[in-house]
Structure 1
Amino acid sequence: MSSDATDHKPSTPSFAELGVAVEITDALAAQGITHTFSIQELTLPLALDGTDLIGQARTGMGKTLAFGVPLLDRVFDDADVAELDGTPRALVVVPTRELAVQVGEDLNRAAQNLPVRVFTIYGGRPYDEQIQALDEGVDVVVGTPGRLLDLYNRDALQLDKVAVLVLDEADEMLDLGFLPDIERIWEALTHKHQTMLFSATMPGPILTLARSFMNKPVHIRAEAADAGATHATTKQVIFQAHRMDKPEVTARILQCEGRGRTIIFTRTKRTAADVSADLAKRGFAVGSVHGDLGQEARERSLEAFRDGTIEILVATDVAARGIDVDDVTHVINYQTPDDPMTYVHRIGRTGRAGHSGTAVTLVGYDEMHKWAMINSELGLDQPDPPVWFSTSPELFEALDIPEDAESVVGKPRKVVGARAPRGRSRGRI
């Protein structure tokens, strides 16, 4: 279940109290969702009224329903939105395939009582099936920039009646080089429409883009401007680890008390494959998600992680977008991130939606310069992480690892999603 799907803070207004259509509130209530998160409470009144807005909140704070609920409400029953006729009334643009799938699922659940058809589009899937779905009629489209633009250029995707445009995870789209595609999609919407832009951070190019295309947007932050970049509910454990000892260290961390779903982040695709293979050989039930895997294999791993078939997922940063699970107990940075915002996004996968979590960062001796930059910019007060090994008592104590924890926990297993198909897809993201 996603982080949005949690009845979190009863002290906040309910969706019903904010005027959301009963068909939507009933669908949310069936999932145990009744009250809003901060970003939802602040954005809903404006979004339901058709106002352009920029929503800023950290990962895991409920952004999907912050734009999804008003989007569905307006498409379903707003006098300013034309009657549904099978051409899209709303377009949600996201940076990655995995996030597209997750957002599409969240919107479909919220729309289960509505006569609104939600369809997800991304690269790596046949064009024919997506063109056929669009021909048969779609009211809300969720998709990645490249494939959306391809279908628009083929005249398969009509944008002339889109009343609501959403750009989700805008900072990631900037990092992945999608800004030109976003601009071309935006330029295609020459008619009056509402735009909602959501992002954890607001780099200069994103704000410039917003000023160019949005109509007097209201900038909403779900927390104080000087709030820390990381969740207060996340315990951060940082130490220096020798590259050759990292597999042993990781195997022991995975045996700590109270560990549930765990994401291990690597910087490269090769390391993701190597780490997942090593853990499977040690007997851990593990899946892998990285760019060298075909789309079906990636989806198989993600589904196994979401449904609890596996509790450990090894992922690269790009592939991990869309892992919207609210009960990840641990995040392990097997390789130190390249920059502070990547660190924030990684550890934001735990400590979400009111849950507590633990983020462990293994800083290689050759990665200290990266850690120095992260520590300085985020004010983490950890300039000189201690040096620990897989046998260090301090490691066991800091992470509640049983004293008898060994590096092998069972018979070798197969990595879920490890085998890439012979013909890798060449479709655009």
Structure 2
Amino acid sequence: MKLAAPESGASNICGKATDQRVQFPPMKQTLVIKPTLFTELNLPESLLKGIEELGFTEMTDVQQIALPITLAGKDVAGQGRTGTGKTATFLITAINRLLTTDPKPGRTNHHPRALIIAPTRELAVQISDDAAKLAKHTDLKLHTVYGGVDYEKQRLGFENGVDILIGTPGRLIDYLKKRVYSLTKADMLIIDEADRMFDLGFINDLRFMLHRLPKYDQRQSLMFSATLSHRVLEMAYEHMNEPEKLRAEEGDLTASGITESMYHTSMEDKFPLLVHLLREGDVKRGMIFINEKRTGERVARNLARYGFSVGILSGDVRQQKRTRILEDFTNGKLQLLVATDVASRGLHIDGVTHVFNYDLPEDAENYVHRIGRTARAGAKGTAISFSCERFCFGLPDIETYISRQVPICHIEHEMLQIGKPSTPEATAEGLKKEDQAEKHDQPKSGGRPGGRPGGNRNGRGGPSRGRR
């Protein structure tokens, strides 16, 4: 029996929550973790081969709990710490389901069997790359759509048929409205980073697509989120079939392999302190998070002048350039990546040894997502944060959210003596030499992560893209 969303007193799913909160019926929870190998899951040989080639043998905590349930065809609303293997969980489930069940009667090439919705272009690309590797030895056809790239080229990708469709809401809806594809024969729905969907104002887009899928009891639905907030649970009850609530790990929200520290510093001392820490630390691959694009441009340009190979990633950089910068960073051509929160979720880049919060995030949850770019899949990492007079007011919320204090480090005078830049005219990757070069990198389809022209649907929702 389907658990329906409450009809009265619930939070407004399109806006702010009311004071009165509905108590949802408790979902089932599984907290016992038992060591499990992928070979014990009775997966198809073609899928197991893809898993083995990725070097996966033992399952993560999230996978140990979720996969036996999702592979059995049950709906799941899952919560887990960043970097815990949620992407592989739902991809393995989707590929297994498509390989072991027959397509629905009447399905054609233009009826995807699985739909995966992601909030940002970077996350959609990341999911697509992982899916291609896992499905490498199968006959499944994958297609990914998102804004900021050639519209017609992506449309032509449907002509060869699609089994698994991955994309951001804006571009998915554009093609759906033009009847490029249909969702009426879908066997599976996956929503990744559900809480981020709400933050970016995608709730109307989600509802539009959900109402064009088969009924909740005629498909399997998986929803993964960093936090199972009231809004996320409300959607789970409305559009899923008795979803099971899973949280694999209790305790700290941050990964255990991260060494955290905090420096209280003035804004003018942040850059010399950063240069000192980069020089003295064993920073093989580092990410530097800032809150505003203009700050990132200045930091990236100055780091290049001091001899660091650095790229910048923000919402205003053209999609092709963003993809190339991420590839260069992943391949080791760039040592450092300066980024806004567009890179704080969903990106899995192996070997990130250090994360620097040059600006403390204004949203406490983003602290966890940012530092989660390091120490992924059981590795070790270092997270260093700067608390300056402008952004220090967010520190109490961060420490309340993670339920502990971040260790404080003392600044010595010599740590701020970094000398003159070695290459005064150097320019970071992603920036032109002209101060206003990024104005030419505005994507033609608009600034929204999903690529819909003119911002959010109905002229609503989501934070301003100008500062990001």
> Could you state the TM-score of these two structures normalised by the residue count of structure 1?
0.89
Aligned to 2:354: 330
Whether 1:202 aligns to 2:228 is yes
Secondary structure of 2:68's counterpart equals: helix
Query: Quick one: which of 156, 168, 172 aligns to 1:144?
Result: 168
Whether 1:56 aligns to 2:79 is yes
Query: What amino acid does structure 2 have at the position aligned with 1:118?
Result: L
Query: Quick one: which of 44, 63, 78 aligns to 2:67?
Result: 44
> Any conservation in 1 of the 2:210–2:239 contact (CA below 8 Å)?
yes
Aligned to 2:238: 212
Secondary structure of 2:49's counterpart equals: helix
> Any conservation in 2 of the 1:55–1:219 contact (CA below 8 Å)?
yes
Q: Which runs of 5+ in 2 are unaligned?
A: 1-33, 433-437, 451-468
Query: What amino acid does structure 2 have at the position aligned with 1:60?
Result: G
> Any conservation in 2 of the 1:72–1:111 contact (CA below 8 Å)?
yes
In 2, the alpha carbon distance for the partners of 1:406 and 1:255 equals 12
In 2, the alpha carbon distance for the partners of 1:407 and 1:343 equals 32
Query: What amino acid does structure 1 have at the position aligned with 2:235?
Result: L
> Aligned residues, how many?
406
Aligned to 2:50: 27
1:137/1:193 CA distance change after superposition, 3 Å: same
Query: What amino acid does structure 2 have at the position aligned with 1:213?
Result: H
In 2, the alpha carbon distance for the partners of 1:323 and 1:408 equals 31
Q: Once the 2 structures are TM-superposed, how far is the Cα of residue 386 of structure 1 from its aligned partner?
A: 5.8
Aligned to 1:6: none
1:221-370 → structure 2 map (5 Å cutoff)? 221-224=247-250, 227-370=251-394
Q: Deviation digits for residues 196-247 of structure 1, max 9, x if unmatched?
A: 00111112111111111110001111112xx111112111111111111111
In 1, the alpha carbon distance for the partners of 2:429 and 2:106 equals 45
Whether 1:74 aligns to 2:74 is no
Whether 1:379 aligns to 2:403 is yes
> Any conservation in 1 of the 2:330–2:350 contact (CA below 8 Å)?
no
In 2, the alpha carbon distance for the partners of 1:178 and 1:107 equals 24
Whether 1:106 aligns to 2:125 is no
Query: What amino acid does structure 2 have at the position aligned with 1:103?
Result: I
In 1, the alpha carbon distance for the partners of 2:90 and 2:105 equals 19
Q: Once the 2 structures are TM-superposed, how far is the Cα of residue 320 of structure 1 from its aligned partner?
A: 4.1
Q: Deviation digits for residues 302-358 of structure 1, max 9, x if unmatched?
A: 111111111200000024434211321110001111121011111111121111111
> Any conservation in 2 of the 1:162–1:189 contact (CA below 8 Å)?
yes
> Any conservation in 1 of the 2:82–2:372 contact (CA below 8 Å)?
yes
Q: Percent identity?
A: 35
Query: What amino acid does structure 2 have at the position aligned with 1:26?
Result: K
In 2, the alpha carbon distance for the partners of 1:170 and 1:220 equals 14
1:411/1:29 CA distance change after superposition, 3 Å: farther
Query: What amino acid does structure 2 have at the position aligned with 1:376?
Result: T
1:409/1:246 CA distance change after superposition, 3 Å: same
Query: Quick one: which of 145, 160, 178 aligns to 2:202?
Result: 178
Q: Once the 2 structures are TM-superposed, how far is the Cα of residue 106 of structure 1 from its aligned partner?
A: 0.2
Aligned to 1:96: 120
Query: Quick one: which of 424, 430, 455 aligns to 1:417?
Result: 430
Secondary structure of 2:332's counterpart equals: coil
> Any conservation in 1 of the 2:290–2:358 contact (CA below 8 Å)?
yes
Q: Once the 2 structures are TM-superposed, how far is the Cα of residue 175 of structure 1 from its aligned partner?
A: 1.3
Query: What amino acid does structure 1 have at the position aligned with 2:443?
Result: R
Q: Once the 2 structures are TM-superposed, how far is the Cα of residue 293 of structure 1 from its aligned partner?
A: 1.1
In 2, the alpha carbon distance for the partners of 1:405 and 1:18 equals 55
Q: Deviation digits for residues 228-279 of structure 1, max 9, x if unmatched?
A: 1111211111111111111111111112332221110001111111111111
Aligned to 1:7: none
User: RMSD over aligned Cα, in angstroms?
Assistant: 2.2
Q: Once the 2 structures are TM-superposed, how far is the Cα of residue 425 of structure 1 from its aligned partner?
A: 2.0
1:150/1:347 CA distance change after superposition, 3 Å: same
In 2, the alpha carbon distance for the partners of 1:73 and 1:84 equals 19
In 2, the alpha carbon distance for the partners of 1:347 and 1:106 equals 22
Query: What amino acid does structure 2 have at the position aligned with 1:424?
Result: P
Whether 1:426 aligns to 2:449 is no
Q: Deviation digits for residues 31-79 of structure 1, max 9, x if unmatched?
A: 2112211111211122122111112111100011100001011112224
Query: What amino acid does structure 2 have at the position aligned with 1:374?
Result: I
In 1, the alpha carbon distance for the partners of 2:52 and 2:115 equals 25
1:128/1:229 CA distance change after superposition, 3 Å: same
Q: Once the 2 structures are TM-superposed, how far is the Cα of residue 418 of structure 1 from its aligned partner?
A: 2.0
In 1, the alpha carbon distance for the partners of 2:388 and 2:115 equals 42
Secondary structure of 1:16's counterpart equals: helix
Q: Once the 2 structures are TM-superposed, how far is the Cα of residue 409 of structure 1 from its aligned partner?
A: 6.1
Q: Deviation digits for residues 98-131 of structure 1, max 9, x if unmatched?
A: 1111100000000010000111110112221122
> Any conservation in 1 of the 2:117–2:191 contact (CA below 8 Å)?
yes
